[in-house]
Structure 1
Amino acid sequence: MEENKEESLCAAARTGDVFKVASLLKSGADVTYFDRDGLTPLMYAAKNGWAEVVTALLDAGAPWNALSPSNLSAGDFAMESGHQSSFDILLNAGIQAELILGTIARKDSAKANPNGDYLDDRVTFSEDKVMDRESKAVMMAWEKPLMEAHAKTICSGGGHVLNIGFGMGLVDTAIQQYKPLSHTIIEAHPEVYNRMLLTGWGEKKNVKIIFGRWQDVLSQLKSYDGIFFDTYGEYYEDMREFHHHLPHLLEPGGIYSFFNGFCGSNAFFHMVYCQLVALELEHLGYFTQLIPLPVKDCLGEDTWEGVKHKYWQLDTYYLPVCQCSDDSE
């Protein structure tokens, strides 16, 4: 019956009947349909590993980023079920879509304030977090092991180091342990900047603090052997803009890294952005290695108490290590 066309499409996708799927699509079945369980035909095809059906549904306009009631996309289902071919097809579809539209990062960018006025907000400091006025976390103590790993990465070559975004000072404290020749910190929030001065950061011999947005102080920067980027109140497009300055800021053989928190509530979306950033950096001449770090033990039950947005909900963090592609030759 006509009204069962979409249910038939879900059934055909579930069983991998590519000819039935093609016939139903040709007859006008709605490829965006969610059944009573909250699943789409694409989710069923991905969950069962029917790569040919996945391709047919994507070609017909099935949304790769639709979410089930349990916050899982078709890519998550393919990943959880171990269906590599379907996963690869969906990952490529996601990367291509985000290159054109960038919708996920704009909606769910980690550490991004949609109001765009973070620098004018009051922030509150406590022992384990810095919060904005909406009770969203600017930085939290659970990130300390990650920041220590980032610091070790960008300081591995010694020399001169640049960090953009002080926050709680976790990465900068770790950087100091490696005694770089110089340690430049850019911080744009006036209250965070004042706190830096009150806690003695302006008196450290090898530290230079630059107050302002990184976009406004580029003329004050030199070139560095290690660079870390971790801003709050910005979106993916801001980091992409910063990446275009890397050839002038990063010394040959230097290491660049950034807080890789994009789409931290969905494993597949996060993987899309890991690959997307690596691809865009590759076009700029940089090779990116992603080092998996388990973080489940860092996130206790009370971690997010009082925090409005859980910006990280995954068990693994992928630490990016970026170097000029020519350096590996």
Structure 2
Amino acid sequence: MAAAPDSKAKSPEELLCAAAESGNAEAVADLLSSGADPTHFDSSGMTPLMHAATGGHVAASRLLLDAGAPWNALSPSGLSAGDLTSDPATYDLLLDHALRSELILGTVARRQAPPTDSSDGVPAESYLDSRVSFSEDRVMDAESKAVMMEWERPLMEAHARAVCTGAGKVLNVGFGMGLVDEAIQSYEPEEHTIIEAHPEVYARMLKLGWGEKKNVKIVFGRWQDVIPQLGSYDGIFFDTYGEYYEDMREFHEHLPKLLKPGGVYSYFNGLCGDNAFFHAVYCQLVALELANLGYSTQFIPLPVKDCLSEKIWEGVKQKYWQLDTYYLPVCQEETESE
């Protein structure tokens, strides 16, 4: 009796996943040249690049990236190829490719809200027109997303320590709960300027007496609109809500005029705070863009795992930070940082 035909013959994409998983670069190349789709997700939700990265197969990974495999695709558990690899060479390959892709296309940047916002974000105008609610440990927007939370206090104290070197004139963009501003005040700066754009947050600042502090100057409005009112500062901290990555990049363009020689700039480093590899990409991306402006950036690792119990997130629509380590950026002119 003749053998029954194989009804379960594998597709080119299934073969590509298998070749990538085994690290067979020659087979990967042949399958790609014959038309196998490098963007394919298999039945487990994995792409060929994820399989190659998991095995630490750098040659196969390079072939797949060159063929258009998406570096930022996510598995069902929310992991990218960069998260899945433990091989340094493969990780470096993926990181370099991701940086080049973002510098050219900015595909993730356009989706990501900056520092304190969540990954889907809301336009700044919508946030500024919406109601916010205040409690002892958080400020929330109208969609139950956290604008700022008490668990950030140690981070804000570290940021204040970084930008208050010399305690001259200090600028903070974005008040929120005032955590960083309370810390800045402990250094008794000569002048402490705070920009806040949300009318309810501004009203609360006045109610709490911030407008009566002798060394504090409050500037109400969007930083984009009040830039002409600003001087130059020894320390600057940037932490807005409801804006996008491009907004922070636009702010950076003003640093040469805002930051005095020898001054220190820092920002809340919350970009892609729910994915370790994406976060690493954006640390390096911001550092590269600041380098183009003449600044060098150091990232100081701060453990935050013990600050983030599940109870903290009760009532919050989306966790904007899920990583164990926070990398605090300290930026200075290239010559000064040396």
**TM-score normalised to the size of structure 1?**
0.97
Q: 2:84 aligns with which of 77, 97, 100?
A: 77
Tell me what 1:158 maps to. Answer: 167
SS in 1 for 2:78: coil
* Contact 1:104/1:263 (8 A) holds in 2: no
Q: 1:173 aligns with which of 182, 197, 222?
A: 182
**Pair 1:221-2:230 in alignment:** yes
Tell me what 1:10 maps to. Answer: 17
* Contact 2:112/2:244 (8 A) holds in 1: no
Tell me what 1:95 maps to. Answer: 99
Write out aligned runs for 1:1-329 (5 A): 3-78=10-85, 81=86, 83-110=87-114, 111=117, 113-116=121-124, 117-329=126-338
Equivalents in 2 of 1:53, 1:211: separation in Å?
54
Residue identity opposite 1:189 in structure 2: H
* Contact 2:123/2:243 (8 A) holds in 1: no
Residue identity opposite 1:91 in structure 2: L
SS in 2 for 1:192: helix
SS in 1 for 2:83: helix
What is the aligned residue count?
326
**TM-score normalised to the size of structure 2?**
0.94
Moved more, 160-169 or 293-302: 293-302
Q: Deviations over 1:303-322 (max 9, x none)?
A: 11111111111111110000
- Cα offset, 1:300, TM superposition: 1.1
Moved more, 239-248 or 36-45: 36-45
SS in 1 for 2:64: helix
RMSD between aligned residues:
1.2
* Contact 2:274/2:322 (8 A) holds in 1: yes
Q: Unaligned stretches of 5+ in structure 1?
A: none
Q: Deviations over 1:30-76 (max 9, x none)?
A: 11111121111101111111111111000000000000011000000
* Contact 1:226/1:254 (8 A) holds in 2: yes
Equivalents in 2 of 1:328, 1:150: separation in Å?
17
SS in 1 for 2:71: coil
- Cα offset, 1:115, TM superposition: 4.1
User: Between Structure 1 and Structure 2, whose CA radius of gyration is higher?
Assistant: 2
Residue identity opposite 2:267 in structure 1: F
* Contact 1:105/1:263 (8 A) holds in 2: no
